[in-house]
Each structure stands twice: as C-alpha cells, then as structure tokens.
Structure 1
Amino acid sequence: MSNIREEMPILARHEGDWVGTYTLIDTQGKILDKYESHLTCQFPENAPYPYYQINRYSWADGKKEEYEFPGIYSEKNLLFDTNRIKGRAWEADDSTVILHFTYKEQPEMSLYEMILLSPCNNYRARTWHWFKNHQLFQRTLIQEERLRS
C-alpha cells in the first residue's frame, strides 16, 4: 500500500483537473510560443502506478498534443520513467513541489519545474527552467486554475 497521499500531502492536493495557459519565453523575455492546457492529476487505487498524470495541449492553429505520465512513489519522491522523460518530484515546503527531469532522446536537455499551489487549492503558478548542456536557454510560465464541474 502506497503512502503517497500521507507522505506527499502537497502533491495530493493537486488531484483533479487543471486548465491554463503555457507561455514559452527565451532568456530575453521574448514570447516563443503560447498554448492552452488541460492536465489531469490522479491517484488511482489498485493500479500499477500510485500517480498518473495526463497532459493535453492545444494551440490556436488546431495543433494538439497529449502525454501520459505514470509515477512511482518512493520515500517522499515521485519518480517518472516513461519513453519520453526520466525524473523525480519532491515537496519543498507547504505549498511547493519541485520537479526535475531529462528528455531521453535529448540527454543534454533538462528541466526544473517549480509548482506553487494556492492555499485554497484552486490556483497553480508553475515555472519551467529549460537547460541545454547546463545552460539556461528558455522558460515556460504557466498559470492554471482547478477545473470546477
């Protein structure tokens, strides 16, 4: 039995659906891309993975992408090892989750993400810092709110 909900309570507060906007910028602040998102964060019971995330992205020109991220829990860390990425997430304080991962097809590229969850659990502010060969080359700014049914 996984203790993910008890041992990572901030992560557990992310459960549900989130909609928002991703804005990709270069190191000078120039907008490189902007698109909409719908993420689903799940903690399925009696499933192979104690955490499961689905990211759906859509652009104004009609382009769409979808990615699935099953996560394994171990000692207050959420571990990802998919065909696309390898990384881990951990809680930094009572409102922040940090995620670090590398792209398997581009091992010279890595990303650090900071996810801040509001006290009311309905808003998230996220930033991605993209590195190539250990040099920052772009950032993604993400503003989300919980999808209410």
Structure 2
Amino acid sequence: MKNPLQQLMPEILQHKGVWRGTYRHIDIEGNIIDEHNSQVECIFPESGPVVYTQRNKFSWPCGRIYEVEFDGVIREQKIFWDTPTFSGFGWQASPHIFLLELERKDEPGAWFYESIVMGDSGTNRARTWHWFKNGKCFKRTLCDENLVVT
C-alpha cells in the first residue's frame, strides 16, 4: 500500500530526504536571539497509520545537541502532530508551499505559523515561523536548508 499523501498532497513528497541548514531566531526588532545548525530528515512511510516521520538534530557552537523524532497522521485532509512540545497540523497550500499551524506545549500560550517554501530545483527550501503569544508576534524563525541525501 502506498502512502496516502501520494493522493492527498503529492507535492509534499518532494521533501523526502535529509536537509541541512541554519535556524535563526530573531526578536521583533530583528536581533538574532539564537542561531544553530540543523539536520532534518523527512520520511514518508509506505504502510501504517503514520504518513510522515521527521528526525531533527540541532547543534550549537557551544557543543549543545538536541535530537527529536515525531510522527504525523492524516486527519481532516491534513497532517496532524501531537508531541510533548507541540501539536497542530499542516497542509499543502500550493505545489511549492507547505503551511503549518502549531501550538507550543512547552511554552504555554505560544503558537507559531510556519511556511516551508521549496525552490524550483527541489534541493533548496526556506522556512519561516511567526511566533505569537496573546495575539501578538514576539519572534520569528528563519531557516535555509539544502537537500544532502535523498
């Protein structure tokens, strides 16, 4: 059986593989408040209820490393996630744009809205997060990534 995303949102499958990049968190004045390297692996299982698995490894210049893995399932024609740190959903907005709306469980009252934009080559993508709390944007995350393994 093939992954149901092949029918529902086939363009998302372009994200399969290992992506490396840099995350930059900036405050509303544009100051960098955190910057670290990332490795994000996107996996699309061909059977079972999980339609998407993501493995992240983040590393900072000080030597700190954070690794996490999470799964997504289909509900209401979207990919849904429910992890210890966030819950929410994502959907394909156009052939090159994937959108997410996620509530942060580890930061009460915080939400972020993410857009992942795939470049025409399929080997570069840009991610932008807009973080909100109490209805007000308080920071943004910018990430540029390159596909290193398909």
- The TM-score normalised by the length of structure 1 is 0.93
Count of paired positions? 149
**1:4–1:76 Cα contact (<8 Å) kept:** no
Displacement of 1:74 in angstroms is 2.9
Classify the secondary structure of the residue corresponding to 2:15. coil
Equivalent positions of 1:56-135 (< 5 A) are 56-135=57-136
Q: Which amino acid aligns with 1:103?
A: R
* Deviates most, 55-64 or 73-82: 73-82
Displacement of 1:5 in angstroms is 2.0
1:140 aligns with 2:147: no
Distance 1:48 1:93 in 2: 24
- The TM-score normalised by the length of structure 2 is 0.93
Distance 1:32 1:105 in 2: 18
Displacement of 1:75 in angstroms is 4.3
* Equivalence for 1:49: 50
After superposition, what is the alpha-carbon deviation per residue over 1:109-131, rounded to whole angstroms, capped at 9, x for unaligned? 00000000012210001100011
Gaps of 5+ in 2: none
Classify the secondary structure of the residue corresponding to 1:11. helix
Q: Which amino acid aligns with 1:69?
A: F
Distance 1:24 1:76 in 2: 30
Q: Which amino acid aligns with 1:142?
A: C
**1:18–1:39 Cα contact (<8 Å) kept:** yes
Gaps of 5+ in 1: none
Identity of aligned residues (%): 38
